[in-house]
A and B are shown apart, each in its own frame.
Chain A
């Protein structure tokens, strides 16, 4: 009898345990490449989110519940992402976050919107921290999708505003990944440069397969042959690192205007080219922003994760999620979503951001920075001794582009 009782307790205890744990954690499904060509950025993102979850947990979690990041590998593949999303939902995840690849983001947004229509009461929210195809907050916007990164049009607007005042730019070469995001970068660059600096000649407009090229030497030869003095690229992951590396090998001397030159391997390659402060990047923040709070964060983050903080927006995302849940006094995704709408928030790098209700696009100060020599004591990247330096700051108000979003609300 006693034995049977003991056995019953032994079986029941872990079950109680798991039920209790399941109720006490807020699970966030992290759906991003953890293998394949996007793995380097996907891994970096995962470490960032885990760090942020730890940070929230140290302060008592969200509404007293622990935050847990559930890593799910999508191999930068939209189809695979949907399988992973379903897997996450089955495991009790009500919040997913994803960033790498707008093709993935588009598929996920569609999938979750449909899922939420069919499963009222079990809604899943989608926090997008890096997929910047403008269509996601315009024609294809969804109530369930929130984006913390500035979309590609906002970034191109800011980048071309800076470029129009640089007289040395005469011949521009565009090279981008052949999918929705790369195509939107190239079209916007053409349109905006054409309007702001009609004297600039577009000497090349290249699209190459996404994350499939192992040697960019032929592309660099082409850039060189075109006589370009400036390259504009939205490349990310290994595509930007290999492109810069091939340029460094060939000694290509041009200015680079990029979205993601700071990703894994990029800084090392730029140092090799010797292009001191000629590679520009547009981001919502960087290590050397003159703001004590973000610098303290960077220091602690590097000490623990041994990576630079690529995604200040991930910090904003997680902190805003916690704030919204607290404001709604609920972890119900619908209520959290409503609390996020038009929410104002002091961003990590200083200044006020706002999550626009009309399209769920977050607006925040944006920086253009260049990579090269830095004063002693500032943050460098990848142990190159070089770091990012601010060349321009665009305030929140100037980044507000109109939207064509017509959102269906629950």
Chain B
């Protein structure tokens, strides 16, 4: 029992941190630009495929640097040439634009790299078990993922809260004209923020690629859950996204390990009900519904605390 708790906690934290790495970019973009970027997970996927392709030519470590830069540049270009024009037509147009972009990117990726998973491997340097708990190995690579997530979280917080850049970026959202009058190029700031946000998603892609499977549907697999993270954490709140990521990671992991169903708690249904459809629901275990738990959480949060855990903005 203790073993399962310890290992589930570890797995949950690992998964949560990976979610955070992706959600952080989404949160940054949302809090700064007010754009809910549906194509965010697609940039995560681009990061993974760029990472795979570049690491074949140069090895993993240069890829970890180049791939996010490349994806960030594409992100910046999307803002500069697409989103900025669409912006004039309001938020719905922006949403639809990013929504369509997600499909376009998926199609392009599957044309270039095919639909079969690519052979993207952990770098040899990190391909060993870091430590063993209760005879379960923890790969060094997963620890590396954890470390990167923590570093990015702290780095982002510091940049946004403690530096001039963060000050200007935050001011540009609420008082763009004031900031412009002070001599800053607001449009360029927005472009850079979008670029950084998508680059963050790409970092997550580069490092998650070898650990999960790199294939053309990986964006649609993780896309929906990112929105859960951002909404549960509170739209625009970085610490909120951090807490929500961990919460969802742990929730999902622990749910998998619980085999209890109403039947095991309260005993089987009476014979008159046993043949009915109620019996199926009665016997569903928590493990079976684990994958939908985050969405259940999303619904509850929206009902009882629509601004999210740490959000300040009413949605």
Which A positions have Cβ atoms within 8 angstroms of B?
Answer: 34-37, 39-40, 42-44, 178, 206-209, 212-215, 217-219, 221-222, 224-225, 238, 241-242, 245, 249-252, 264-265, 268, 382
Contacts and interface: CB of A to CB of B under 8 A. Distances in A.
A224 B116 CA distance: 30
B217 interface: yes
A249 B142 CA distance: 9
Nearest to B110: A35
Nearest to A75: B217
B256 interface: yes
B34 interface: no
B215 A39 contact: yes
A44 B211 CA distance: 23
Given A178-B288, A238-B213, A221 B257 contact: yes
Contacts of A34: 115
Contacts of B7: 221, 224-225
B129 A40 contact: no
Nearest to B2: A225
9 contacts: A39-B215, A212-B221, A212-B291, A217-B253, A221-B7, A221-B11, A221-B253, A222-B256, A242-B212
A265 B212 contact: no
A39 B216 contact: yes
B3 interface: yes
**Lowest 6 CB-CB distances: which A-B pairs, in order?**
A251-B137, A39-B115, A218-B256, A225-B4, A221-B7, A218-B253
A218 B291 contact: no
Contacts of B138: 250
B15 A215 contact: yes
Interface of B: 3-4, 7-8, 11-12, 14-15, 106, 110, 114-117, 119, 129, 132, 134-139, 142, 211-213, 215-218, 220-222, 252-253, 256-257, 287-288, 290-291
A400 to B, nearest CB: 34
A222 B257 contact: yes
Contacts of B115: 34-35, 39-40, 42-43
Nearest to A252: B136
A206 B286 CA distance: 11
Contacts of B134: 224
Nearest to A73: B115
B217 A218 contact: no
A304 to B, nearest CB: 16
Given A217-B11, A221-B4, A251 B132 contact: yes
Instruction: Choose among A36, A207, A221, A382 the residue with the greatest number of B CB atoms under 10 Å from its CB.
Output: A221
Given A40-B115, A43-B115, A245 B4 contact: no
A250 B131 CA distance: 10
Contacts of B8: 218, 221
B116 A44 contact: yes
A219 B256 contact: yes
